[in-house]
């Protein structure tokens, strides 16, 4: 731990305001989704705690606002602040799980394509090329309309979109790693290919993935929000931030702006924080920029 | 007990051709007769033969692109040869598969050129050195002896036990090369293939590593195949020398014979081009013009004729064979038949 | 021809270039002094970490953050380049001083034809018209041994082989008729037969054009064939300098002796090479006293206390050593 505190990485972190703001925002959302729901009185998805009489209350600092609902309420009398805390939980969960799945699948395919080359390489990379020539939201939309909606379906759609970037990156670094003499040394030592990949290639291709993975969580949160906004995302019973925006959007022009603007602002800050921190990681971990 | 007089390494007519890289789409050409696949090959090694006895150091010299490194990597079976025989300790391993190669790897190891790229940056020295050993040591008993052996190996190459827990980036180039040597020694091989082991090192460190390698030869009776572009290094370590050009062996001879009486024009050019710290000797100057042709399309006849100051029409037609000149020297050059042409 | 009679073209005095990194200050060049007369070839020799390349970059004013020239003077004809502004340095680079690097690709732009890159130098540093510039380029390419020069001017760097590229770089370096050429390991990446072609070419061109050269290299054999005088660097300091033959045949500093002895040479019949023990110390953490004492067989108590200063020895040699070697004495 002390070694980390004395490292150049930590030193630069302390001097980079964007890294501090980014990681601060990320920490805020992490805390919010972990302990936030215990801090608010209302569970917006437990109908027993809702009261229709509380519907469409404005934020507390406006006329008619109620300190019990700091950011106002929606049509069912749900507290917008509580909905954001619960919604961010779902958005982040989807973003993280889809990222881990994409990263795992993409890395494995990239390793296979890069290490073995030949036919496997051609097939994997052509699929990736085709995939990249469609806008990712279109692929997700297409998949969702084919397999239906639900959190699991959203995860499948995001993973199907997300693996390509890992596969391409890993394949590229694998190709340059296997030219290095330590991989040849492992061959001369008599290591089987699977072991060479696991012990030698994999640990040395992971660093650039950290940056991609970080930023991808933000991207996935956005794609999921778009899908939910278009009505093919998460079900109505599990409203993510995107679905909150959609629900509020219906009444946005009736002057009831708070039901969609606050969730929208939450997404913005979340993705902004992730991207700021991701950029810092990119600068730190990419030796060519140093 | 194996036959002591038999060569540790016997290479016969070794050939290594690489298909041009790239996938299907990269090699697809659209010609007048419709699409076709580019099947050109890089002829890196074209029938090379030599043998090395136990305790003997054979050096291969030549310029970049002459195929010397490919020969080394093919012998170490990083590549599978496309032709010829490769006898290690009397056993032809040219077509061995992975499982058959494993016992052979205990007899033959390799030292690499780049002390920075040849060690995995994420492995500790202990694990790097133990790697070949762990592939050979089967059973808990054998594995238990590994740590003690690592310590002994590190001490032998001039490092100490504390170093075992560190990562490669904590060492200098020379120390890293020592780690690479310890790794190669771990399985007590009879043959070490050393691919330019000192060319990335500073001169003062280079001397340390060369001395260490010679000491290890004397101690363990190692045979080395020593790849280098540096004639003065080769002169210092080698018992015999092979000179390669464009994947062909153009001359082989015991060290002193080669340096005293080089016969092939390319060998003579190499010797006269090498810079020396001593005041100008009156050496026979052969100046080469032009550069090495591509291994994708070899010249007809003698591979060296495009740069040879003596070349005449016969050289374009007939490829000279390696011929024995006595005293262990063999030369592939038509000048032997017509020595009167040997006037600069 | 006595060097003393000539006014030095370049006089580097007590140059100190430091790099302020996270891990501490790297004193890459720490008090280096030497001079070069008109038409002279000076070899700057040392191992990696010796600071030899940093000297070259400092002269050209190419030290970027975190590096900084902390002190000293670089006098070109009496003008101090350390104090010169960026505009003046740009004027000097290419016209007065030009540079040849180890990897020709770092100094050639892969997107422009060789002819365009050569033309650019002349446009910046001469007032020739287009026609005259073109013929000057053709003439220069031919003089570095590239045939069909008119045609080759239209070629791009990747269409040349390694040796040919280095010839192009040399042609560009010579184009503006600079008075000083800094060549940083110009032949290290090349094969021996190509190296000897390039070295011959450089020697001939320099003599013809009357330019001076600083040859930065790790290869003592190359400098001994090329240089009039040699400066040996160790850990950012000059440990010895003098006329090339004197220095190679009977150096006064044990480090120079060690370097020479560790070169395997066909005429030297020793079975074992003499080696310098140990490794170069961490340059961020140099020992007190003489930097070389941990590896020096002659080191005594004095060496640990007082850092030796460069002082005149026999003949043309000066060395920074308390216990210099006599001729024929081994380290």
Instruction: Give the model's pLDDT for residue A287.
Output: 55
In a domain, residue B123? The reply is no
Where among C136, C155, C177 does a domain terminate?
C177
In a domain, residue C1? The reply is no
Percent of chain A with pLDDT over 70: 98
Contact by Cβ (8 Å): C273, B211 = yes
Neighbours of A234 (CB within 10 A): 24
- Closest chain A residue by Cα to residue C21: A8
In a domain, residue B198? The reply is yes
Please report, for the domain that includes residue B50, its CATH number: 3.40.50.300
In a domain, residue C78? The reply is yes
Instruction: Give the model's pLDDT for residue B284.
Output: 59
Measure the N-to-C terminal CA separation of chain C; round to a whole number of Å.
33
**Residues from B in contact with C at Cβ < 8 Å:** 63-64, 172-175, 202-208, 210-211, 214, 229, 231-233, 235-237, 259, 269-270, 272-279, 281, 287-289, 291-292
C242 torsion bin: left (phi>0), alpha (psi -120 to 50), beta (else): left
User: Under an 8 A CB cutoff, do A204 and B122 touch?
Assistant: yes
In a domain, residue C81? The reply is yes
In a domain, residue C82? The reply is yes
- Whether residue C1 is predicted with pLDDT greater than 60 in this model: the reply is no
Neighbours of B171 (CB within 10 A): 19
User: Under an 8 A CB cutoff, do A204 and B120 touch?
Assistant: yes
pLDDT (average), residues A217-241 = 85
In a domain, residue B173? The reply is no
pLDDT in tens, B145-175: 899 999 999 999 999 888 999 999 989 889 9
* Three-state secondary structure readout of chain C: CCHHHCCCCEEEEEEEEEEEECCEEEEEEEEEEEEECCCCEEEEECCCCCCHHHHHHHHCCCCCCCEEEEEEEEEECCEECCCCCHHHHHHHHHHCEEEECCCHHHHCCCCCCHHHHHHHHHHHHCCCCHHHHHHHHHHHHHHCCCCCHHHHCCCCHHHCCHHHHHHHHHHHHHHCCCCEEEEECCCCCCCHHHHHHHHHHHHHHHHHHCCEEEEEECCHHHHHHHCCEEEEEECCEEEEEEEHHHHHHCCCCHHHHHHHHCCCCCCCCCCCCCCCCCCCCCCCCCCCCCCCHHHCCCCCHHHHHCCCCCEECCCCCEECCCCCCCCCCCC
Rounded distance between C-alpha atoms, residue C239 and residue C46, angstroms: 10
Instruction: Give the model's pLDDT for residue B23.
Output: 60
The answer for A 160-219 residues in CB contact with C (under 8 A) is none
Cis peptide before C66 (omega within 30 of 0): yes
Contact by Cβ (8 Å): C213, C42 = yes
Rounded distance between C-alpha atoms, residue C22 and residue B91, angstroms: 55
Same-domain status, C26 and C168: no
Measured between beta carbons, the chain A residues lying within 8 angstroms of C22 are 8, 11
Instruction: Give the model's pLDDT for residue B320.
Output: 94
Which helix (H) or strand (E) is B235 found in, with range?
helix B231-237
With b meaning 16 or more CB within 10 Å and e meaning fewer, what string describes C182-196? bbbbbbebbbbbbbb
Tell me B115's DSSP state: T
Q: Starting at the edge strand that comes first in sequence, how are the strands of the sheet with B323-326 ordered?
A: B108-111, B191-195, B223-228, B57-61, B240-245, B248-254, B329-331, B323-326
In a domain, residue B306? The reply is yes
Domain that holds residue C315: 8-96+180-319
- Lowest-pLDDT range of A87-101, B20-34, B143-157, C33-47: B20-34
Neighbours of B80 (CB within 10 A): 13
pLDDT in tens, C189-203: 888 888 888 888 888
Q: Starting at the edge strand that comes first in sequence, how are the strands of the sheet with C237-243 ordered?
A: C97-100, C180-184, C212-217, C41-45, C229-234, C237-243, C318-319, C311-312
- Domain spans, chain A: 19-34+56-289
Tell me B298's DSSP state: P
Rounded distance between C-alpha atoms, residue C63 and residue C57, angstroms: 6
User: Under an 8 A CB cutoff, do A185 and B180 touch?
Assistant: yes
Rg from Cα positions in chain A? 23
Residues 6+ apart with CB under 8 A from A69: A54, A57, A59, A60, A79, A80, A81
Instruction: Give the model's pLDDT for residue A290.
Output: 42
- Closest chain C residue by Cα to residue A8: C22
Same-domain status, C228 and C290: yes
pLDDT (average), residues C164-178 = 89
Residues 6+ apart with CB under 8 A from A83: A44, A74, A239, A244, A263
User: Under an 8 A CB cutoff, do C265 and B273 touch?
Assistant: no
Same-domain status, C270 and C136: no
Percent of chain B with pLDDT over 90: 64
- Whether residue C25 is predicted with pLDDT greater than 90 in this model: the reply is no
Same-domain status, C251 and C115: no
pLDDT (average), residues A65-92 = 83
pLDDT band at C3 (very low <50, low <70, confident <90, very high): very low
Please report, for the domain that includes residue C288, its CATH number: 3.40.50.300
Percent of chain C with pLDDT over 90: 42
| Nearest-5° Cα angle at C91, C90 to C93 | 65
Rounded distance between C-alpha atoms, residue A96 and residue A89, angstroms: 11
Domain that holds residue B318: 9-107+189-341
Structure token digits, residue A90: 């779902």
In a domain, residue B139? The reply is no
In a domain, residue C325? The reply is no
Closest chain A C-alpha to C22 CA, distance in angstroms: 6
pLDDT (average), residues C256-269 = 80
Neighbours of A92 (CB within 10 A): 24
Residue A107 main-chain phi, psi, to 5 deg = -65, -45
Residues 6+ apart with CB under 8 A from A37: A43, A82, A85, A86, A89
Number of folded domains in chain C? Answer: 2
- Whether residue C303 is predicted with pLDDT greater than 80 in this model: the reply is yes
Instruction: Give the model's pLDDT for residue C131.
Output: 93
In a domain, residue B232? The reply is yes
In a domain, residue B3? The reply is no
pLDDT band at B283 (very low <50, low <70, confident <90, very high): low
Instruction: Give the model's pLDDT for residue B216.
Output: 94
Contact by Cβ (8 Å): C270, C255 = no
Instruction: Write the ipTM.
Output: 0.87
Q: How many CA atoms lie within 13 A of B279 on its CB side?
A: 6
- Closest chain C residue by Cα to residue B170: C282
Number of folded domains in chain B? Answer: 1
Rounded distance between C-alpha atoms, residue A72 and residue C32, angstroms: 73
- Closest chain C residue by Cα to residue B159: C278
Which helix (H) or strand (E) is B330 found in, with range?
strand B329-331
Q: Give the closest residue to C118 by CA, choosing from C137, C100, C101.
A: C137
Mutation site for A-interface testing, chosen from C22, C23, C24, C65 by largest number of A Cβ within 10 Å: C22
In a domain, residue C139? The reply is yes
| Nearest-5° Cα angle at A58, A57 to A62 | 135
Same-domain status, C152 and C289: no
pLDDT (average), residues B263-281 = 83
- Whether residue C75 is predicted with pLDDT greater than 80 in this model: the reply is yes
pLDDT in tens, A3-14: 777 788 888 888
Same-domain status, C299 and C229: yes
Same-domain status, C305 and C167: no
Higher pLDDT, residue C275 or C181: C181
**All chains having 3 or more CB pairs closer than 8 angstroms to chain A:** B, C
Same-domain status, C157 and C304: no
Indicate the SS3 state at residue B288. Answer: coil
pLDDT band at C265 (very low <50, low <70, confident <90, very high): confident
Q: C219 at the B interface (CB within 8 A)?
A: yes
Tell me B236's DSSP state: H
In a domain, residue C328? The reply is no
Out of A228-232, B125-129, B276-280, C277-281, the most confident range is: B125-129
- Whether residue B223 is predicted with pLDDT greater than 80 in this model: the reply is yes
- Lowest-pLDDT range of A38-47, A76-85, C256-265: A38-47
pLDDT in tens, B176-214: 999 999 999 999 999 999 999 998 888 888 889 999 999
Same-domain status, C301 and C201: yes
In a domain, residue B116? The reply is no
Measured between beta carbons, the chain A residues lying within 8 angstroms of C23 are 8
pLDDT band at A289 (very low <50, low <70, confident <90, very high): very low
pLDDT (average), residues C259-283 = 79
Measured between beta carbons, the chain B residues lying within 8 angstroms of C194 are 63, 291
User: Under an 8 A CB cutoff, do B24 and A200 touch?
Assistant: no
pLDDT band at B1 (very low <50, low <70, confident <90, very high): very low
Percent of chain A with pLDDT over 90: 37
Which helix (H) or strand (E) is B134 found in, with range?
helix B125-136
pLDDT band at A282 (very low <50, low <70, confident <90, very high): confident
Average of per-residue pLDDT values in chain A: 86
Rounded distance between C-alpha atoms, residue B334 and residue B323, angstroms: 10
Instruction: Give the model's pLDDT for residue C2.
Output: 45
Same-domain status, C259 and C197: yes
Q: Environment class of residue A245 by beta-carbon count within 10 Å: exposed (0-12), middle (13-18) or buried (19+)? A: buried
Contact by Cβ (8 Å): C157, C118 = no
Rg from Cα positions in chain B? 22
Rounded distance between C-alpha atoms, residue B177 and residue B24, angstroms: 39
- Whether residue B270 is predicted with pLDDT greater than 70 in this model: the reply is yes
Q: Which residue from A117, A185, A204 is facing B112, i.e. has the nearest CB?
A: A185
Report, at the CATH architecture level, how domain A19-34+56-289 is classified: Orthogonal Bundle (1.10)
CB pairs under 8 A between A and C: 3
pLDDT in tens, A246-267: 888 878 788 788 888 898 999 9
Q: Starting at the edge strand that comes first in sequence, how are the strands of the sheet with B91-92 ordered?
A: B41-52, B9-19, B83-88, B91-92
Instruction: Give the model's pLDDT for residue B248.
Output: 95
Same-domain status, C211 and C261: yes
User: Under an 8 A CB cutoff, do B112 and A191 touch?
Assistant: no
Closest chain C C-alpha to B122 CA, distance in angstroms: 21
pLDDT band at A87 (very low <50, low <70, confident <90, very high): confident
Contact by Cβ (8 Å): A105, A156 = no
pLDDT in tens, A123-153: 999 999 988 888 878 888 888 788 877 888 8
Where among C134, C157, C177 does a domain terminate?
C177
Rounded distance between C-alpha atoms, residue A268 and residue B196, angstroms: 56
User: Under an 8 A CB cutoff, do C272 and B270 touch?
Assistant: no
- Lowest-pLDDT range of B15-24, B219-228, C143-152: B15-24
- Whether residue B274 is predicted with pLDDT greater than 70 in this model: the reply is yes
* Three-state secondary structure readout of chain A: CHHHHCCHHHHHHHHCHHHHHHHHHHHHHHHHHHHHHHHCCCCCCCHHHCCHHHCCCCCCCCCCCCCCCCCCECCCCCEHHHHHHHHHHHHHHHHHHHHHHHHHHHHHHHHHHHHHCHHHHHHHHHHHHHHHCCCHHHHHHHHHHHHCCCHHHHHHHHHHHHHHHHHHHHHHHHHHHHCCHHHHHHHHHCCCHHHHHHHHHHHHHCHHHHHHHHHHHHHHHHHHHHHHHCCCCCCCCCCCHHHHHHHHHCCHHHCCCHHHHHHHHHHHHHHHHHHHHHHHHHHHHCHHHC
- Whether residue B312 is predicted with pLDDT greater than 70 in this model: the reply is yes
Q: In angstroms, how far is CA A181 from the centroid of its own chain?
A: 37
Residue C14 main-chain phi, psi, to 5 deg = 50, 45
Residue C28 main-chain phi, psi, to 5 deg = -65, -40
């Amino acid at each position: 731990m002390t070694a980390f505190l004395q490292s150049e990485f930590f030193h630069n972190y302390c001097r980079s305001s964007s890294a501090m703001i980014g990681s601060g925002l990320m920490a805020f959302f992490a805390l919010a989704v972990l302990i936030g729901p215990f801090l608010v009185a209302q569970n917006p998805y437990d109908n027993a705690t809702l009261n229709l009489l509380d519907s469409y209350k404005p934020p507390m600092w406006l006329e008619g606002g109620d300190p019990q609902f700091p950011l106002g309420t929606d049509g069912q009398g749900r507290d917008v602040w509580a909905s954001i805390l619960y919604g961010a939980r779902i958005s982040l969960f989807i973003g993280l799980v889809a990222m881990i799945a994409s990263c795992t699948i993409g890395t494995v395919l990239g390793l296979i394509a890069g290490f073995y080359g030949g036919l496997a390489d051609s097939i994997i990379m052509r699929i990736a090329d085709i995939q990249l020539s469609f806008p990712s939201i279109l692929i997700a939309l297409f998949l969702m309309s084919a397999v239906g909606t639900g959190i699991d379906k959203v995860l499948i759609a995001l993973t199907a979109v997300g693996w390509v970037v890992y596969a391409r990156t890993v394949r590229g670094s694998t190709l340059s790693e296997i030219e290095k003499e330590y991989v040849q040394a492992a061959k001369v030592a008599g290591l089987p290919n699977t072991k060479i990949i696991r012990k030698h290639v994999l640990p040395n291709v992971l660093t650039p993935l950290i940056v991609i993975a970080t930023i991808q969580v933000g991207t996935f949160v956005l794609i999921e929000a778009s899908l939910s906004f278009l009505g093919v995302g998460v079900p109505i019973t599990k409203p993510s931030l995107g679905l909150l925006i959609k629900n509020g959007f219906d009444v946005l022009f009736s002057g009831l702006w708070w039901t969609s603007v606050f969730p929208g602002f939450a997404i913005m800050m979340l993705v902004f924080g992730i991207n700021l921190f991701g950029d810092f990681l990119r600068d730190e971990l990419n030796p060519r920029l140093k | 007990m194996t036959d002591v007089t038999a060569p540790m390494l016997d290479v016969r007519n070794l050939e290594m051709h690489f298909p041009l890289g790239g996938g299907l789409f990269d090699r697809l050409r659209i010609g007048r007769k419709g699409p076709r696949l580019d099947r050109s090959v890089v002829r890196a090694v074209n029938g090379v033969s030599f043998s090395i006895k136990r305790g003997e150091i054979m050096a291969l010299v030549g310029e970049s692109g002459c195929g010397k490194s490919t020969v080394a990597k093919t012998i170490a079976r990083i590549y599978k040869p496309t032709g010829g025989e490769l006898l290690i300790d009397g056993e032809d391993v040219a077509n061995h598969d992975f499982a058959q190669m494993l016992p052979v790897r205990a007899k033959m190891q390799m030292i690499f050129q780049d002390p920075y790229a040849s060690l995995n940056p994420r492995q500790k020295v202990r694990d790097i050195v133990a790697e070949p050993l762990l592939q050979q040591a089967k059973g808990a008993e054998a594995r238990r002896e590994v740590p003690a052996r690592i310590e002994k190996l590190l001490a032998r190459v001039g490092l100490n036990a504390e170093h075992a827990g560190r990562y490669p980036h904590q060492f200098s180039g020379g120390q890293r090369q020592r780690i690479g040597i310890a790794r190669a020694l771990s399985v007590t091989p009879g043959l070490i293939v050393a691919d330019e082991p000192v060319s990335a090192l500073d001169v003062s460190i280079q001397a340390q590593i060369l001395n260490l390698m010679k000491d290890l030869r004397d101690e363990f009776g190692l045979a080395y195949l020593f790849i280098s572009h540096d004639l003065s290094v080769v002169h210092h370590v080698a018992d015999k020398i092979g000179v390669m050009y464009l994947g062909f062996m153009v001359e082989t001879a015991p060290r002193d014979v080669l340096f005293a009486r080089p016969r092939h024009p390319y060998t003579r050019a190499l010797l006269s081009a090498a810079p020396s710290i001593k005041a100008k000797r009156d050496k026979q100057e052969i100046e080469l013009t032009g550069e090495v042709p591509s291994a994708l399309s070899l010249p007809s006849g003698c591979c060296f004729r495009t740069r040879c100051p003596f070349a005449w029409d016969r050289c374009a037609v007939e490829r000279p064979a390696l011929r024995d000149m006595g005293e262990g020297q063999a030369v592939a050059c038509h000048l032997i038949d017509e020595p009167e042409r040997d006037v600069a | 021809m006595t060097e003393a009679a000539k006014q030095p073209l370049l006089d580097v005095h007590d140059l100190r270039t430091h790099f302020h990194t996270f891990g501490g200050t790297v004193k890459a060049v720490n008090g280096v002094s030497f001079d070069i007369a008109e038409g002279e070839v000076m070899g700057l020799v040392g191992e990696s970490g010796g600071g030899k390349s940093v000297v070259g970059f400092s002269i050209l004013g190419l030290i970027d953050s975190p590096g900084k020239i902390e002190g000293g003077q670089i006098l070109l004809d009496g003008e101090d380049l350390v104090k010169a502004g960026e505009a003046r340095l740009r004027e000097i680079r290419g016209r007065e001083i030009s540079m040849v690097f180890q990897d020709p690709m770092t100094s050639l732009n892969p997107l422009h034809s060789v002819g365009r890159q050569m033309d650019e130098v002349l446009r910046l540093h001469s007032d020739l018209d287009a026609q005259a510039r073109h013929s000057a380029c053709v003439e220069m390419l031919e003089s570095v041994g590239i045939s069909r020069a008119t045609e080759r001017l239209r070629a791009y760097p990747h269409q040349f082989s390694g040796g040919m590229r280095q010839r192009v770089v040399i042609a560009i370096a010579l184009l503006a008729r600079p008075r000083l050429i800094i060549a940083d390991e110009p032949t290290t990446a090349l094969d021996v037969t190509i190296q000897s072609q390039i070295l011959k070419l450089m020697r001939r061109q320099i003599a013809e054009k009357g330019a001076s050269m600083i040859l930065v290299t790790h290869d003592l054999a190359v400098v001994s064939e090329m240089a009039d005088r040699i400066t040996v660097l160790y850990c950012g300091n000059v440990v010895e300098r003098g006329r090339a033959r004197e220095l190679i045949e009977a150096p006064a500093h044990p480090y120079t002796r060690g370097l020479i002895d560790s070169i395997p040479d066909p005429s030297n019949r020793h079975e074992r090479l003499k080696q310098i023990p140990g490794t170069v110390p961490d340059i961020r953490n140099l020992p007190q006293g003489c930097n070389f004492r941990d590896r020096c067989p002659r080191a005594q108590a004095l060496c640990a206390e007082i850092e030796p200063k460069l002082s005149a020895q026999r003949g043309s040699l000066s060395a920074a050593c308390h216990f210099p070697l006599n001729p024929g004495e081994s380290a």
